[in-house]
Amino acid sequence: MSQGIPLKDSAMNQARVESLAADLSRVEPGFNAIGFVTAVMAQLPGLELKARIACVADALAVHLPAEVEAATAVILAALPPHDDATFTGSDFGLYTYAPYSDFIARYGCTSEHLESSLNALKETTKHFTAEDALRYFLNAFPDAAMDAVMQWSRDPDYHVRRLASEGTRPILPWSPRIMLPVEAAIPVLDNLYTDTSRFVTQSVANHLNDITRTAPGLALATLDRWQISNEQRPGEMNFIIKQSLRTLVKTGHPEAFEFLGLSTTPAVEVTGLRVNSHAVPIGKALIFDCTIHATGANSERVIIDCVVQYPRASSGHGEAVFKWTTADLSPGESRPLTRSQPLRSTASRKLAPGPSLLQIQINGTRVAETAFELLPAS
Residue pLDDT, tens place only, 353-371: 999 999 999 999 999 999 9
The span from the CA of 126 to the CA of 245, in Å, is: 29
Amino acid letter, residue 304: I
Q: Provide the mean pLDDT of the chain.
A: 95
Residue 40 lies in a domain: no
Of the candidates 192, 182, 183, the one whose C-alpha atom is nearest the C-alpha of residue 158 is: 192
Strand (E) or helix (H) holding 20: helix 14-27
pLDDT (average), residues 264-292: 96
What total of structural domains would you count in the chain? 2
Give me the pLDDT at residue 315, please: 87
Phi/psi for 222 (5° steps) reads -65, -45
pLDDT by residue (tens digit) across 151-184? 999 999 999 999 999 999 999 988 999 999 999 9
Q: How does residue 3 score in pLDDT terms, banded at 50, 70 and 90?
A: low
Q: How does residue 85 score in pLDDT terms, banded at 50, 70 and 90?
A: low
Q: Is the separation of the CB atoms in 93 and 126 below 8 Å?
A: yes
The span from the CA of 100 to the CA of 75, in Å, is: 7
pLDDT at 1 over 50: no
CATH code: domain of residue 355: 2.60.40.10
Residue 56 lies in a domain: no
Residue 285 lies in a domain: yes
For the stretch 270-299, what's the b/e string if a residue is b when 16 or more beta carbons lie within 10 angstroms of its beta carbon? beebebeeeebebebebebebebbbeeeee
DSSP, collapsed to helix, strand or coil, labels residue 250 as helix
Of the candidates 126, 91, 94, 93, the one whose C-alpha atom is nearest the C-alpha of residue 198 is: 91
The span from the CA of 30 to the CA of 25, in Å, is: 7
Q: What percentage of the chain exceeds 90 in pLDDT?
A: 92
Q: What percentage of the chain exceeds 70 in pLDDT?
A: 97
104 and 74 together in one domain: yes
Q: Cβ contacts of residue 268 below 8 Å, gap of 6+?
A: 292, 293, 294, 295, 296, 300, 302, 329, 362, 367
Residue 115 lies in a domain: yes
pLDDT (average), residues 182-210: 97
74 and 169 together in one domain: yes
69 and 93 together in one domain: yes
Give me the pLDDT at residue 83, please: 65
Q: Is the separation of the CB atoms in 88 and 195 below 8 Å?
A: no
Domain finish residue from 237, 257, 277? 257
Amino acid letter, residue 1: M
200 and 82 together in one domain: yes
88 and 225 together in one domain: yes
Q: How does residue 347 score in pLDDT terms, banded at 50, 70 and 90?
A: confident
Give me the pLDDT at residue 2, please: 46
Domain finish residue from 217, 236, 257? 257
Give me the pLDDT at residue 87, please: 52
pLDDT at 84 over 90: no
249 and 328 together in one domain: no
- Identify which has the larger pLDDT, 80 or 222: 222
CATH code: domain of residue 153: 1.25.40.290
pLDDT by residue (tens digit) across 126-158? 999 999 999 999 999 999 999 999 999 999 999
Q: Is the separation of the CB atoms in 329 and 294 below 8 Å?
A: yes
* Positive or negative: CA dihedral 86, 91, 96, 101: positive
197 and 343 together in one domain: no
294 and 252 together in one domain: no
What radius of gyration do the chain's Cα atoms show? 25
Residues shown for the chain: 378
Q: How does residue 91 score in pLDDT terms, banded at 50, 70 and 90?
A: confident
Q: Residue 124: which domain range? A: 65-257
Give me the pLDDT at residue 245, please: 98
Residue 52 lies in a domain: no
Strand order in the sheet with 268-275: 268-275, 285-294, 334-342
pLDDT by residue (tens digit) across 288-312? 999 999 999 999 999 999 999 999 9
251 and 292 together in one domain: no
pLDDT by residue (tens digit) across 24-51? 999 999 999 999 999 999 999 999 999 9
92 and 155 together in one domain: yes
Residue 233 lies in a domain: yes
- Inter-CA distances, 229 with 109, 193, 194, 219, 232, Å: 38, 11, 10, 16, 8
DSSP secondary structure code for residue 82 in this structure: P
Domain finish residue from 204, 228, 257? 257
- Inter-CA distances, 256 with 38, 207, 224, 325, 370, Å: 55, 16, 11, 17, 27
Residue 96 lies in a domain: yes
Orientation of helix 98-107 relative to helix 114-124, angle to 10°: 170
Q: Is the separation of the CB atoms in 88 and 199 below 8 Å?
A: yes
> Rounded to 5, what percent of the chain is helix, strand, coil?
45, 20, 35
199 and 281 together in one domain: no
CA distance from start to end of the chain? 24
Residue 227 lies in a domain: yes
178 and 215 together in one domain: yes
Q: How does residue 82 score in pLDDT terms, banded at 50, 70 and 90?
A: confident
Q: Cβ contacts of residue 225 below 8 Å, gap of 6+?
A: none
pLDDT (average), residues 215-240: 98
pLDDT at 221 over 80: yes
